[in-house]
Structure 1
Amino acid sequence: MTETRTNDDATDQRLRLLVGLVVVFGTGAAAAITAYAIAHPQPIPSLAVLATMTLLVVIANRVRIYVRLRSTLDISTWGEIPVLVGLVLLPAPWVVLCAVIGATIVKLLTWRGPMKTVFAIAKESLTASAAAWVFIALGVQPSLTDPPLTIVETTLALCAAILVDQLAYLPVMATSTGSSIRKAALHNLGIKLVGYLFRLGTALLMIGVLASDLSLLVLLVVPLVVACMHLWQSRSVRTREERESWQRLAKATDELNAVDLTQVLHSATTRAAQIFSAAEAAIDLPGAGRTVRATESQILSDGPLGRDPAPRYETTVDLVAHDGSVRVGVLRLRFGGVVRLTEVEQYKLRTFASAICTAIRNAEAYAELARIAAENAHAASHDPLTGLANRRRLYDRADQLLQAAGHDGMFALLLIDLNHFKEVNDTLGHAAGDDVLRQVANRLRDSAAPGDLVARLGGDEFAVLLTGLPTPALANHRATGMLAALDPGIEVEGMKITVEAAGGIALAAGTGSVEELMRRADIAMYQAKRSCEPTVVYAHARDTADLERLMLTGELRRAVAEHEFNVDFQPIVDLGTGEVVAAEALARWHHPDQGSLTPVQFLETVERSGQLPAFADAVLEQSLIAMQSWREAGFDLPVAVNVSPRSLLDPTFPEAVLARLGRHEVPPNRLILELTETLTISQLDVVERTLAELRNAGVRLAIDDFGTGVSSLSVLSRIPVHQLKIDREFVAAVETSTEAAAVIRTTVDLARNLHLTVIAEGVESEPQRRALWELGCLAGQGQLFARPYSAARFLGVLQRGSGGQPGVLAAALHDAGSVVRLPVRRASGGGHTPLPHLPA
């Protein structure tokens, strides 16, 4: 606001200087005409004639045509006509005197401050003197009784008066409005020229009537003609001004159709100054704490909310919607003087303010949508816990680097896994674990070189794309430096803990995929863990995936395409009755050279090869086909399918599973997804949403190998499962180990309290079966009942049964009268799960 006050003061100084020059010249003109009168004495007109002449000057100067020019009004009058007519009737000095007196009377009646009044009087003295000197120079002899016909003289006198008037007026107008003299001169030039011609014609007409012998009646008609011409000119000027104003308003409204708020505000302020002829326009946005000020030609400021504490000649209007429901700010118009807007101008101002309000709201809405889109895009490519890039962004960036290999130097992938991180979660809780992960992420980010991409893949696994490597050796050097940043202890909940990590480095080859690069880094990372080294660079010769596994990796794509993966099924049996209640799907790779391979032999290779989605899809497809065939034969059994934690990291996995269930018309509650507890806990925060989506759809969840990890309760607290499967190690020792029996009993009690089903794996003998049943375990699977079969043989086993009972694979442990049959329990997915018998 200090800047505004300084500019105003400078403008006032220039105006005072220009007005002072006009006053000096006006005074000089009056003195010169007075000296001429003294040197050339002429008869003094009567007081009545002089009074009449002065009255005509007052009347002519009061009849005005207003044309707004920025912050002031360009006023066009008929003041030249009485002066021109008076010069053919009276001596020039007396005409100038009457003109000055008449102008003084008019300005006193319409007082607008001393400077404007003095300027107007001095300018009138100049213009009247200019016309008078033309008549004097041309030797015109005025006469009341016999006025001369002065067509040429009157024309030249009018031109001189107009020229002097504009020379005095334009510099002052340009300074006052902040525009150029040329722009002020050209404003409404056409209308001005027409007005000059009308005034010249009127003056010549009156002089012609006075110089002729026409009757006084004709002379009385002249004022009527003048009045008609004045009305016509006034209407023409205002019509044209209104048309141009509405055109400017329409153009300005079109310019407001922008999505950038700054562009809207800048356009609105400059157009407001132009449309309403303001010296300055400003928009205040209290909500955004922002003010934009501008003139017609430039932006003056755009910054924090503020305004001149004492604004002069200012008009304000609220920026509100058409219905007045929303107010976003204020539009302020500053003028160079007192301005009263007409009713039409006020309507235009409200209309423009409403358009500005709409444009601001649209721009703010677009900015909010852009912000939300940016947040969504950021969320899709960043880890929500640490803010690092996620797996998707890492893969995209690595793929771009692979495609541009060789242009910006080498790059490598560093895979980092924190050692013993589960102990932090289990001891201090997940909140403390999250805090550790955030601090680790910050240290890795801070130690990364410019251009490197640090990502969190999930759980305690991080990855870094090391870019711009001039030599391969620099990758290990840079990776070692990043892991060294983790050496200082991390303080969590008042405790200082040490974080150790292992890193595997894979240099990007000229060809290959991101999956292969990740596989190699993964292998190197596990080498680092086994060798207790901080980092290991992948080397083909030291690949822990030996020749056989490398061969398997190369043959996986063919195996998936040619359906070499088959699924066998092992029944899950009610321990009390021997009735089959479900089946577990177990994948087998029937390798043409190496025979039947179990998941233990190939699953890790599948997970690292990039073929996991196709493999998981094939296993699920065969399982659903088997379920259909059994259902058609009268055995509606749910099937449990093992799922890899890496599959749960795929956001499209739930959709793919549910789509395949729909194609086979299998209810979701007939599918059980088994999760390996020891693998799931490290990825828990990543897979929770995926598992929740599947469970909400009706798919049941089970935790495999329950009790083998140290975080079983943590898993149950965060993953709403339906079943627990006791690991075969506890089952094998249930007869001989009191500790194993205690673990099983505790698991059963926990399951009962949580309304879960417990299934024992690896039941090999009748004593094991009875011991498990007595401990409260309801179901089991193992060689005692049946080994895994193909889908067709499994159906045959069901149909054949035991002792001629289809669907029963073992004799009951009790008589029918010694058990209590519990009602079936509704599953969350909408189906129901039959519970085996409990001992009476």
Structure 2
Amino acid sequence: MSDTGTNDDATDQRLRLLVGLVVVLGLGAGAGWAIYAHRHPGPPPPPMALGLLCVAVIAANRLRVYVRMKSTLNGTAWGEVPVLVGLTLLPPPWVLLCAVAGQAVLKLWTRVGTRKTAYAMAKEALTVSAAAGAFLALDIEPDLTAPHAPTLAILAGLIAFAVTDQVVFVPIMAADARTTIRQAARQNWTGKLIGHLGQFLATVVVLWVLSTDANVLLLLVVPLVVACMHLWQSRSARTRQERESWQRLAKATDELNAVDLTQVLHSATIRAAQIFSAAEAAIDLTAENADRSVRATESQVLADGPLSGRPSRPDETTVDLVAHDGGVRVGVLRLRFGGTVRLTEVEQYKLRTFASAVCTAIRNAQAYAELARIAAENAHAATHDSLTGLPNRRQLYERAGRLFSDGGHRSLVALLLIDLNHFKEVNDTLGHAAGDDVLCEVARRLNEAAEPGDLVARLGGDEFAVLLTGLPTPALANHRAATMLGALEPSIEVEGMRITVEAAGGIALAAGAGSVEELMRRADIAMYQAKRAGEPTMIYAHARDTADVERLMLTGELRRAVSEHEFTVDFQPIVDLGSGEVVSAEALARWNHPDHGDLSPVQFLETVERSGQLPAFADAVLEESLLAMQGWRAAGFDLPVAVNVSPRSLLDPHFPATVLARLERHDVSPGQLVLELTETLTISQLDVVERVLAELRNAGIRLAVDDFGTGVSSLSVLSRIPVHQLKIDRGFVAAVETSAEAAAVVRTTVDLARNLHLTVVAEGVESEPQRRALWELGCQAGQGHLFARPLSAARLLGTLQRGSGGRPGVLATALHDAGAVVRMPARRSAGSGRSSLPHLPA
């Protein structure tokens, strides 16, 4: 839109040019009649007659009854009557002189300004010249002594007068109202025709009175008739205008029922100009820092931009836009007329009604815009990562789903899964704020390196995904992935430090993947293969898919395995290092799969934990362990059994009751059961499991911390978990002979346990020197292949019965004797050692 000041300047310039043109034409017309008078000399008319004609011209124009229509002041001009009468009585040059002089006196009297005065005089000269020309064309000779009423000449002169008036006046009116000439010319045609008919009749009546012997006093009737016609015309015009105005108001109110603020403002300003016949209408928005102004005429919007801060003009009428709910002032409605206008009471009421409707519409549009903004923000937040602004997993899945559903896509689609290496170190060292900065920088680089059409998403943590589209060949996927990871190679400056980000990527092609979830699974497998191989990227290959066995762990197979007792439990004895006597045993679970043979917990435990069969599996392992304890006890070996428990079991508030019910059913004392907790797995859930552990301990069940020393919060675990036993990790046991550091860890652990009244068990004892070294450091018990491999309950019972050197329950000679360790035959299994130890899930 054009600026307000620019439009005003252009309009004023156009008006000045048109007025100047009219003045020049008027001067030309006056010069022409001066030449005519010089060529046709005659005696001057009586001064009395000229004076009366001047007075009549002034009175006829001064007593005009105006009706404000549209954007200007219109009314029936009665100045034609004295001019037409004068042309029948006096020579045209004198009539022209009187008419122009009368207009000059009238304008100077009303002080309308030099430009308007010059325009009125020039216009009068042109219109009178046109009417005089019509009289001359019909050979009408003026005669003051013998007045007559040439009807045809009067009609022709009136038509010439009206046409010239329209030709001169309409362009200027259109320019001032900023409308078209056609619209200005078509304005109030009915009223104009009626007015011209009244002028014709008035002229004929005056001349008839003057040309007959009728009483001259009859001329006094003419003003009364003219006044009555004025009143009738004015009333009918006002009635029509009010009716049309209320119709436009109703239509405008309907148009304001829009939700777009711009549409509301544009419609309101245009309709305001139409309804109130204003040259311009403007709405200035001030509420909620809107700072917006819209200005329009009745046909078009002139400006829409920031508030200009211009002062109010004398010809403006303003009304505040105030909401009914709370009295909030949203802005100002301005109406500018062509001159000083006083609104009637009805018009003021109409203006207040319209302003109220506009205010309501503005408030509704603003509320809708705010709701739309909030909805857009929520929609954006639902599909984008709040930290980096990248699309999230949901949008990635939706976009990939649309690509997959389009079976006719011509190019390949691939998924690149990116995981940052060692990102946890950034958070631990520099803090999470620095880590967030790194993630944002990584997101920016990946987004810039992506090709048009690709989708870069953050899945969570330090994991990103890129949906590669438009691949002409599968080989190009690896090249595009290398480009993406290459963008991460330059160092990143964080808090004044420069760090290098390394990442690994896995690529999966969509062809034949079946679903978005399967594509993500394959990319995840390829990514971890790249990490293990030390490669930046790897493409998924079915032959290297290590998840084949895991896919067999379906809910149906797990349920069948539990019901058909496919899960078995082996036991590894725990031996007193000094005497060689068996003091307890640890339960180790196996799955005897009918198709895949013996599976160790490494192969199935994670699947079991996620399958929903965890309680059944845990119950089966505990059941097998308690049955074995009953058999050993019946044979004279009352041995406690240690069973590994998963953190997921400890999150179940019903777990203690389930365990105690099993113990009661098999008549096993709670003190004979040891639950082993993995320190590294339970530390993050201590707040949740403390209540469960306290309930188990209070019931008499003993607790042990497995792999003690491998976590970072060993002392914190001991201070919060009421344990009875510590199990030293096999890594320290393997190095106890050769590493002073490992020996120091063992010694410290033993001293700590002694001070806390705990027992200590060493895992992974493989040789006699390790046994002796541990015993000398104060370790009480141990387990490992030196004493026995994991055995079934029956084989372990047989081994206990045979013993060592004819001593049942002893698997090694005492350390103060020179005896040798009794080697037990190895049992074939899918795994041995601590790597096959399960964690008992719930």
* Normalised-by-shorter TM-score class: 0.5 to 0.7
C-alpha distance after superposition, 1:9-33 (max 9, x if no partner): 4544443343333333333434444
Aligned-partner Cα distance in 1 for 2:523–2:492: 26
Aligned-partner Cα distance in 2 for 1:352–1:64: 31
Question: Please, what TM-score do these two structures have when normalized by structure 1?
Answer: 0.68
Aligned-partner Cα distance in 2 for 1:304–1:133: 54
Structure 1 residue aligned with 2:717: 747
C-alpha distance after superposition, 1:220-264 (max 9, x if no partner): 433322221110111122222233333333333333322222223
C-alpha distance after superposition, 1:371-412 (max 9, x if no partner): 111111111112222222222111111211212255141111
Aligned-partner Cα distance in 2 for 1:776–1:224: 128
Task: Tell me the amino acid that sits aligned with residue 410 of structure 1.
Answer: L
Offset at residue 135 of structure 1 (A): 3.2
- Give the conservation status (yes or no) of the 8 Å contact 1:317–1:332: yes
Task: Tell me the amino acid that sits aligned with residue 749 of structure 1.
Answer: S
Aligned-partner Cα distance in 1 for 2:270–2:550: 73
Question: Of the candidates 425, 447, 450, which is equivalent to residue 448 of structure 1?
Answer: 450
Task: Tell me the amino acid that sits aligned with residue 439 of structure 1.
Answer: E
1:276/1:94 Cα in 2 relative to 1: closer, same or farther (>3 Å)? same
Aligned-partner Cα distance in 2 for 1:167–1:224: 31
- Give the conservation status (yes or no) of the 8 Å contact 2:292–2:304: yes
Structure 1 residue aligned with 2:462: 460
Question: Of the candidates 676, 680, 689, which is equivalent to residue 708 of structure 1?
Answer: 680
Aligned-partner Cα distance in 1 for 2:199–2:653: 98
Structure 2 residue aligned with 1:53: 53
Aligned-partner Cα distance in 2 for 1:372–1:180: 44
Structure 1 residue aligned with 2:166: 166
Task: Tell me the amino acid that sits aligned with residue 719 of structure 2.
Answer: D
Q: How does 1:511-526 map to 2 (within 5 A)?
A: 512-526=514-528
- Give the conservation status (yes or no) of the 8 Å contact 1:88–1:140: yes
C-alpha distance after superposition, 1:272-294 (max 9, x if no partner): 44444455444433513334444
Structure 2 residue aligned with 1:372: 374
- After superposing the two structures, state which structure 1 stretch, 594-603 or 207-216, moved more: 594-603
1:149/1:542 Cα in 2 relative to 1: closer, same or farther (>3 Å)? same
Task: Tell me the amino acid that sits aligned with residue 77 of structure 2.
Answer: T
1:125/1:500 Cα in 2 relative to 1: closer, same or farther (>3 Å)? closer
Q: How does 1:656-805 map to 2 (within 5 A)?
A: 707-708=679-680, 712=683, 723=691, 746-750=716-720
Aligned-partner Cα distance in 1 for 2:617–2:120: 102
Structure 1 residue aligned with 2:364: 362
Aligned-partner Cα distance in 2 for 1:758–1:507: 50
- After superposing the two structures, state which structure 1 stretch, 493-502 or 40-49, moved more: 40-49
SS state of the match for residue 64, structure 1? coil
Structure 1 residue aligned with 2:195: 195
Task: Tell me the amino acid that sits aligned with residue 246 of structure 2.
Answer: W
Offset at residue 670 of structure 1 (A): 6.7
Aligned-partner Cα distance in 2 for 1:565–1:283: 78
1:505/1:214 Cα in 2 relative to 1: closer, same or farther (>3 Å)? same
Offset at residue 539 of structure 1 (A): 0.6
Aligned-partner Cα distance in 2 for 1:152–1:671: 119
Task: Tell me the amino acid that sits aligned with residue 251 of structure 1.
Answer: K
SS state of the match for residue 467, structure 1? strand
1:406/1:123 Cα in 2 relative to 1: closer, same or farther (>3 Å)? closer
Aligned-partner Cα distance in 2 for 1:257–1:776: 82
Task: Tell me the amino acid that sits aligned with residue 499 of structure 1.
Answer: V
Task: Tell me the amino acid that sits aligned with residue 326 of structure 1.
Answer: V
Aligned-partner Cα distance in 2 for 1:528–1:620: 35
1:389/1:133 Cα in 2 relative to 1: closer, same or farther (>3 Å)? closer
**Greater radius of gyration (CA):** 2
C-alpha distance after superposition, 1:478-535 (max 9, x if no partner): 2222223333333444444433322221111245011111111121122122222221
C-alpha distance after superposition, 1:447-469 (max 9, x if no partner): 22222222222222222211111
SS state of the match for residue 680, structure 2? coil
Structure 2 residue aligned with 1:501: 503
Aligned-partner Cα distance in 2 for 1:544–1:21: 95
Query: 1:110 aligned to 2:110?
Result: yes
Offset at residue 472 of structure 1 (A): 1.0
Aligned-partner Cα distance in 1 for 2:459–2:705: 38
- Give the conservation status (yes or no) of the 8 Å contact 1:72–1:339: no
Structure 1 residue aligned with 2:23: 23
- Give the conservation status (yes or no) of the 8 Å contact 2:418–2:464: yes
Task: Tell me the amino acid that sits aligned with residue 378 of structure 1.
Answer: H
- Give the conservation status (yes or no) of the 8 Å contact 2:3–2:303: no
Offset at residue 331 of structure 1 (A): 3.8
1:173/1:567 Cα in 2 relative to 1: closer, same or farther (>3 Å)? farther
Aligned-partner Cα distance in 2 for 1:35–1:177: 38
Aligned-partner Cα distance in 1 for 2:453–2:710: 53
Offset at residue 195 of structure 1 (A): 1.6
- Give the conservation status (yes or no) of the 8 Å contact 2:457–2:464: yes
Task: Tell me the amino acid that sits aligned with residue 319 of structure 1.
Answer: L
The alignment of Structure 1 onto Structure 2 pairs a total of residues equal to 662
Structure 1 residue aligned with 2:157: 157
Aligned-partner Cα distance in 2 for 1:22–1:740: 104
Offset at residue 353 of structure 1 (A): 3.7
Task: Tell me the amino acid that sits aligned with residue 469 of structure 1.
Answer: L
Query: 1:396 aligned to 2:366?
Result: no
Aligned-partner Cα distance in 1 for 2:757–2:213: 139
Aligned-partner Cα distance in 1 for 2:241–2:152: 33
Aligned-partner Cα distance in 2 for 1:111–1:563: 110
Aligned-partner Cα distance in 1 for 2:217–2:313: 55
Offset at residue 357 of structure 1 (A): 2.9
- Give the conservation status (yes or no) of the 8 Å contact 2:704–2:724: no
Structure 2 residue aligned with 1:693: none
1:371/1:602 Cα in 2 relative to 1: closer, same or farther (>3 Å)? farther
- After superposing the two structures, state which structure 1 stretch, 62-71 or 496-505, moved more: 62-71
C-alpha distance after superposition, 1:674-703 (max 9, x if no partner): xxxxxxxxxxxxxxxxxxxxxxxxxxxxxx
Question: Of the candidates 533, 536, 541, which is equivalent to residue 534 of structure 1?
Answer: 536
Structure 2 residue aligned with 1:649: none
Task: Tell me the amino acid that sits aligned with residue 498 of structure 1.
Answer: T
Structure 1 residue aligned with 2:138: 138
Aligned-partner Cα distance in 2 for 1:434–1:565: 46
Q: Gaps spanning 5+ residues in structure 1: where?
A: 570-586, 624-639, 645-656, 658-667, 673-703, 752-756, 763-770, 778-840
Aligned-partner Cα distance in 2 for 1:31–1:406: 85
Offset at residue 61 of structure 1 (A): 0.8
Aligned-partner Cα distance in 1 for 2:290–2:449: 37
Offset at residue 359 of structure 1 (A): 2.5
Q: How does 1:311-390 map to 2 (within 5 A)?
A: 314-322=316-324, 325-334=327-336, 344-390=346-392
Structure 2 residue aligned with 1:479: 481
SS state of the match for residue 56, structure 2? helix
Question: Please, what TM-score do these two structures have when normalized by structure 2?
Answer: 0.68
Structure 1 residue aligned with 2:422: 420
1:425/1:178 Cα in 2 relative to 1: closer, same or farther (>3 Å)? closer
C-alpha distance after superposition, 1:682-733 (max 9, x if no partner): xxxxxxxxxxxxxxxxxxxxxx956316x947x77xx8776576999x9557
Task: Tell me the amino acid that sits aligned with residue 321 of structure 2.
Answer: L
Percent pairwise identity: 62
Q: How does 1:281-296 map to 2 (within 5 A)?
A: 281-286=281-286, 287-296=289-298
Offset at residue 151 of structure 1 (A): 2.0
